Amino acid sequence: MDKLLIEGGRRLCGEVRISGAKNAALPILAATLLSEAPVAVGNIPHLRDITTMLELLGGMGVKFLVDEKMVIEADASHIHSPLAPYELVKTMRASILVLGPLLTRFGEAVVSLPGGCAIGARPVDLHLKGLSAMGADIRVENGYIHASAKRLKGSRLVLDQVTVTGTENLLMAAVLAQGKTTIENAAREPEVTDLALFLERLGAKIQGIGTDVLEIEGVTSLGKPGLYYEVQPDRIETGTYLTAAAITQGQVKTTRTRPDLLDSVLDKLNQAGAEIETGSDWIELNMPDRPRAVSLRTAPYPAFPTDMQAQLMALNGIAQGVGIITETIFENRFMHVLELRRLGADISIEGNTAICRGVETLQGAPIMATDLRASASLVLAALAAQGETIVDRIYHIDRGYEQIEEKLTQLGAVIRRVA
């Protein structure tokens, strides 16, 4: 199993190009199931989760052409199976995103519960509740969702809580439904907006894009010959590299990105003492002194993103003062705390709140990644730590960060992958 070997204590400086957003690319790839004509999607990041989605769609009969720039042309005109098997779904919860497109276009979907989770314990029940309201016949048997409908019917859907994948699944289901669908309390995340804009390019009729109320007028078919769509840049990757600059008191410019998607993150980095300049598609951060601790509370967009919580906790680990971080989106999202403590961080947990008391230096140690964003926080902490750190189970980080060791190396980090 691969590991990252990091020699910390070096100031990061330079320029890094940001990849396409994984969390936008995955639903957009799932949405190619809706198109009757081949569609090309560009700025796709080369990640394990992308490979899993292509394997999932390929098993259903989608044909792909991939060029050297990772532009993927998808042809869903010959689907022969509506099955999303457990073997693939268990490795990536975003696989649930094929449920809505399969059901609305082909009238049937058989999709494994993500990770075998129980209905009611995770927001997947919101997907099923919405699809049922649109006329789908749904049953759950042996860990699989079996859904069928001759044609979904438009409905008013009020989501009990904000859910990104739930909004995306119901949006994709609605674009081919009969009549009008309204999704209230819809997620406003930029990745949902990117999906909606892609669906519009396919020919969908959607009002309220970027707001918490989406109105969709169903059409009978989607797809336009020769369509090309480019995925937006990854705001979380951008935030991660900017935080890497901050935690090493460095100066890094991120390019091919979108400053307008990162207001809450840039605000916290500014509070930490960073000097930030932005352009139309770039952000440059300089941290001249030791960072100041910041307090934050995660919440749905446009508030501070849960996917940046772990990275800011790593920054607080070496900052001046005390920072209080409250996690409101996911349970068990403080698993990185135990590993940060192994590096010498002073962090205590009270319920869904972490109290971070900054220390002057962290010390390298063997640590283990527990999930995607936790693994990013451990890499950031290792970059700031004195001595050598070995980060184990980095398959998590390969799910969401393209060529992370190469990009960090070009910024001056001493990092390499070892078996």
Tens of pLDDT, residues 76-99? 999 999 999 999 998 888 999 999
Which letter, b or e, does each residue of 275-290 get, where b requires 16 or more Cβ atoms within 10 Å of its Cβ?
A: ebebeeebbbbbbeee
Q: Which stretches of 16-123 are DSSP H helices?
A: 22-31, 48-60, 86-89, 99-106
The residue annotated as part of the active site, out of 13, 117, 138, 276, is 117
Per-residue pLDDT, 122: 54
> What is the reported pLDDT for 333?
81
What one-letter code names the amino acid at 304?
F
d(CA 30, CA 97) in angstroms, rounded, equals 6
356 is catalytic: no
How high is the pLDDT of residue 217? 98
pLDDT value, residue 37: 97
What secondary structure letter does DSSP report for 343? T
Structure-block tokens of residue 372: 């995607």
Residue 93 has what pLDDT? 86
Q: Angle 164-174/190-202 helices, nearest 10 degrees?
A: 10
What CA–CA distance (Å, rounded) separates 372 from 374? 6
What pLDDT does residue 246 have?
98
Residue type present at position 414: V
Going from the C-alpha of 286 to that of each of 243, 270, 280, 399, the distances in angstroms are 10, 10, 18, 28
406 CB neighbour count, 10 Å cutoff: 11
Distances (CA, A) of 17 to 214, 237, 243, 269, 410: 33, 10, 15, 20, 11
For residues 313 and 293, is the Cβ–Cβ distance under 8 A? no
DSSP assigned state of 64: E
The stretches in the chain having pLDDT less than 70 are: 115-123
Q: Is 38 in contact with 72 (CB distance < 8 Å)?
A: no
